[in-house]
């Protein structure tokens, strides 16, 4: 499911209430339940269960695709990976009966005000970290694409330092934090740049278009509360505005030519061969 806009949508709901239940900000954790220990990256299950008690959710921020929950003493980092989701819901019904966890719930945090936070993750790829040093986990992430100080000149410098295909490079969280498969394909199409273009061959004009396109698709995704795909993520409706993602064989919204799908860096990649022409490369003569 979750790329930057989906994670941001969930983060805002945790902070202010909304899509997945009431706000959790200000609630104190009373106890925790681990239904799948593999969902916990650190510390050990015993230490986690003990240490998280009596800590309050002070604030929710985001770094790349990580939800950063600031607690009283520690930081709880949550990465949803492919199929993770978070719900805030009552812990007990009107009769005071505790409600059973849902299918695929992996971690449940029970709070005051009869609320609980459920971490649901069908594919078990998601992870939580309870740590006093979040930088140890987040430290290598690339810049935030929507940050004020992430400008086109900085982006150009970073692209020129690498010699890699754009698609896998943009998916590399240490290069830029937050893009996933959907928003990368959408941004490249909006910018009119081929996904296999090599990063240090981009002109400064192309770079500016790509920088602008990345920010536009992410902001548009956030405005739409993210994209709902298949059975995994319920919520936003950005999927209704997809230009290329999941549209192989259908007409390009700009020129009408069929959208092509091929594997690039082991990821399904959607693009318009007319609007995103391959660059003729002198050094790779046929």
Q: Which is nearer to DNA, 94 or 103 (CB)?
A: 103
Q: Are strands 66-70 and 75-79 parallel, antiparallel or unpaired?
A: antiparallel
Task: Give the Å distances, CA to CA, from 33 to 39, 88, 97, 103.
Answer: 12, 15, 17, 14
Which among 86, 88, 57 is positioned nearest to 73, based on CA atoms? 57
Catalytic residue among 27, 65, 167, 209: 65
228 sits near DNA (criterion: CB under 7 A): yes
Binding mask 54-73 for DNA (x = CB under 7 A): ----------xx--------
Task: Give the Å distances, CA to CA, from 241 to 30, 56, 75, 118, 224.
Answer: 42, 38, 35, 30, 9
* Cβ atoms of 66 and 79 closer than 8 Å: yes
Binding mask 26-45 for DNA (x = CB under 7 A): ------------x-------
The two three-digit tokens of residue 70, written as one number: 């600031």
Stretch that binds DNA, among 92-100, 110-118, 212-220, 224-232 (CB under 7 A): 224-232
Name the phi and psi angles at 144, rounded to 5.
Answer: -80, 120
For the question of residue 251 being annotated catalytic, the response is no
For the question of residue 3 being annotated catalytic, the response is yes
For the question of residue 58 being annotated catalytic, the response is no
Stretch that binds DNA, among 46-54, 78-86, 91-99, 207-215 (CB under 7 A): 78-86
Stretch that binds DNA, among 15-23, 44-52, 209-217, 221-229 (CB under 7 A): 221-229
158 sits near DNA (criterion: CB under 7 A): no
The two three-digit tokens of residue 137, written as one number: 């986990």
């Amino acid at each position: 499911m979750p790329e930057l806009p989906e994670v941001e949508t969930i983060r805002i709901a945790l902070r202010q209430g909304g899509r997945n239940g009431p706000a959790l900000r200000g609630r104190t954790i009373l106890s925790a339940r681990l239904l799948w220990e593999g969902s916990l990256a650190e510390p050990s299950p015993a230490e986690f269960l003990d240490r998280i008690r009596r800590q309050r959710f002070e604030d929710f921020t985001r770094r790349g695709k990580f939800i950063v929950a600031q607690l009283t003493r520690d930081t709880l980092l949550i990465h949803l990976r492919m199929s993770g989701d978070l719900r805030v819901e009552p812990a007990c019904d009107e009769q005071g009966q505790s409600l059973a966890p849902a299918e695929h719930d992996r971690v449940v945090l029970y709070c005051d005000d009869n609320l609980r936070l459920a971490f649901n993750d069908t594919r078990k790829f998601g992870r939580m970290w309870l740590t006093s040093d979040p930088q140890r986990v987040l430290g290598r992430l690339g810049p935030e694409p929507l940050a004020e100080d992430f400008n086109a000149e900085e982006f150009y410098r970073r692209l020129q330092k690498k010699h890699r295909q754009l698609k896998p490079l943009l998916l590399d969280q240490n290069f830029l934090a937050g893009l996933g498969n959907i928003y990368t394909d959408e941004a490249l199409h909006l910018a009119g740049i081929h996904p296999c273009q090599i990063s240090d061959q981009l002109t400064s004009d192309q770079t500016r278009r790509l920088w602008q396109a990345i920010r536009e698709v992410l902001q548009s995704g956030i405005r739409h509360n993210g994209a709902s795909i298949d059975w995994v993520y319920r919520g936003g409706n950005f999927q209704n505005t997809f230009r290329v993602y999941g549209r192989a064989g259908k007409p390009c919204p700009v020129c009408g030519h069929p959208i092509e799908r091929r594997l690039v860096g082991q990821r399904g990649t959607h693009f318009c061969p007319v609007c995103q022409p391959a660059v003729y490369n002198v050094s790779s003569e046929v």
